Structure 1
Amino acid sequence: MGSSGLSRVARDASRPSNPRHRLAPLLNKMDKFNFDSLRIFDLTFPGHWLEGEDRNQAFQIAHVLQMIQDLFIEAVSSCALLRPLTSENIREYLERTETHKETPYERCLNAVYAKAFIFALDGIEKLMCRLVTNYSAPEKVKHLHEEYQKLFGHLKHMRDSAIHIEDRGRGKTRKQQPLKTHIVALGCFIERRCVFTGEDGKQYEIEISESTLKQVKSIIQAVINSYPWLEESKIIF
């Protein structure tokens, strides 16, 4: 075999294998998950179209509501895939860690799901704010937005710390001032509760659970129902 043939073999050997093959075990696990069990979190839209003479505004409002639904679906899926460390599975976890059966790629998944959950619920608040400030929302929607802020307004601090982890990890604010704390949590878990230290030095947490999702769903559904809809009831996927 000539030098060109050898170099071609070396190139082929250095190429990574099909990434789909490498991810097959993870994809198989997800295939086995019963996503139909999440249908309890489906949101119901009372109709296909919003009423209103300003059709452009009606379309924009419906689009924002659809984006809220999309983010909620992300939060539900993230919560379902989370595998928290509990008193029941701690022994199994330690055994898998000590025997190197669990790779760093598996260990990081809970952090991925937690951030997706936090970002989704925080994004929902921002979209509700858009409804209130940009589209003359019904008075009830304003009250629902305030209720959502009381429950989940602290998520903005958690999201900011997740985004600016290069600063928080060094104990700094975005303006490079020292944090007013010596304890910095960056996505720490206490079973299903995820904890982040905010820029103000305070600790913020969210429970990634069905209970939290039920609170979120209740508010979102009430927001959807606050608008006048045309046509028959239908679930939009």
Structure 2
Amino acid sequence: MYIYEIITPGIWLDYEDREWSWEVESQLRSLEGQFFEANLALNLFHSIDHQESTSKEDWLLDNNRRSEIRKQIEAEILQEGKNHWDYMDEINLKTEVIFKREKWSQGDIPREFNHNLAFLYARAFLYALDTFDKFLKVLSNYERVPIEVKNAYQKMTEYFPNLRGVRNTVQHLEDRSRSLGGGRNPKPLDLKPVDNGFINAPNGALILNCLNGSKYGSTMADGHYGEVDVSPESMNHLQSILTEVLNAFKWKGSPQHKPSA
């Protein structure tokens, strides 16, 4: 498990303007919240077994159970005086429905669920980083905040250059899927070349909701393909930024170690 620690230098900010301090403290708590949300999403993402496979034994058991269900349905059709050959589509459908519901009731998870878990957790990581970025932007625009906070905000762009572009695409897949860019009146995308080690498209390609190892990516509104890495390296960057922000302020009270036990 990846656990990223932070130390808040005190309990309260040590400034005379308590209203200003209260507002800043609220933003700092929000940053911490998004930081740990990203940490959780990282762990969930890397806890997934990405190898989806069925053993030969399980495959044979499933086939045998399907055959049993099919024979039972065919027998019911014959009892009604019908020719089961005239009802093959209905028999096939009923067989699948009964078989699947049995598997689900036994705790089996649909393949679609397992397949989408990685994408779900990758997007959760993306959203946590994006919300962290938004809170930090708001904080950096407060009057009288230390210059280190503004510098830390600039580092978000340095460490995560495609964060906003990928997030915007995820939020507007209905436009990107039609090869449209961003804005109220989106224009057709001018797709740029892609070569990320997984996809090589010299003439450009529309790529949406893609996982390349730990990198989650999509074509952005400017036509370029962008990625955000769901990785310990990304969390290291986020940790360094949050630490820099917390240490930029004057505090009073004992240092606080987080997360909790």
TM-score range, shorter chain: 0.7 to 0.9
Match of 1:103 among 108, 111, 124: 111
CA deviations on 1:143-185 (whole Å, 9 max, x unpaired) are 1211222112421111100000111111112423211115122
Mapping 1:144-155, distance limit 5 Å: 144-155=152-163
Equivalent residue number for residue 10 of structure 1:
none
**What is the alpha-carbon distance in structure 1 between the residues aligned to residue 143 and residue 20 of structure 2?**
7
Q: Give the 3-state SS of the residue equivalent to 1:235 in structure 2.
A: strand
Equivalent residue number for residue 195 of structure 1:
217
1:68 aligns with 2:31: yes
**What is the alpha-carbon distance in structure 2 between the residues aligned to residue 213 and residue 109 of structure 1?**
20
Q: What TM-score results when the alignment is normalised by the length of structure 1?
A: 0.75
Mapping 1:104-119, distance limit 5 Å: 104-119=112-127
- Tell me the CA shift for residue 139 of structure 1: 1.3
Q: What TM-score results when the alignment is normalised by the length of structure 2?
A: 0.68
1:176 aligns with 2:176: no
Which runs of 5 or more residues in structure 1 are unaligned? 1-36
**What is the alpha-carbon distance in structure 1 between the residues aligned to residue 246 and residue 208 of structure 2?**
34
- Tell me the CA shift for residue 101 of structure 1: 7.0
- Tell me the CA shift for residue 83 of structure 1: 4.3
Q: How many correspondences in the alignment?
A: 195
Query: Residues 125 and 149 of structure 1 are in contact (CA less than 8 Å); yes or no, is this contact kept in structure 2?
Result: no
**What is the alpha-carbon distance in structure 1 between the residues aligned to residue 229 and residue 125 of structure 2?**
10
Q: Which runs of 4+ in 1 moved over 3 A?
A: 99-102
Query: Residues 181 and 223 of structure 2 are in contact (CA less than 8 Å); yes or no, is this contact kept in structure 1?
Result: no
How well do the aligned residues superpose, as a CA RMSD in angstroms? Answer: 2.3
Match of 2:22 among 59, 64, 77: 59
Which runs of 5 or more residues in structure 2 are unaligned? 60-107, 192-203
Equivalent residue number for residue 223 of structure 1:
245
- Tell me the CA shift for residue 68 of structure 1: 0.7
Larger radius of gyration: 2
**What is the alpha-carbon distance in structure 2 between the residues aligned to residue 191 and residue 136 of structure 1?**
42
**What is the alpha-carbon distance in structure 1 between the residues aligned to residue 143 and residue 54 of structure 2?**
55
- Tell me the CA shift for residue 236 of structure 1: 5.0
Q: Once structures 1 and 2 are overlaid, which stretch shifts more, 149-158 or 53-62?
A: 149-158
Q: Give the 3-state SS of the residue equivalent to 1:47 in structure 2.
A: coil
- Tell me the CA shift for residue 235 of structure 1: 2.3
Q: Which has the higher contact order (CA 8 A, sep 6+)?
A: 2
- Residue identity (%): 24
Query: Residues 114 and 208 of structure 1 are in contact (CA less than 8 Å); yes or no, is this contact kept in structure 2?
Result: yes
Q: Give the 3-state SS of the residue equivalent to 1:111 in structure 2.
A: helix
Equivalent residue number for residue 14 of structure 1:
none
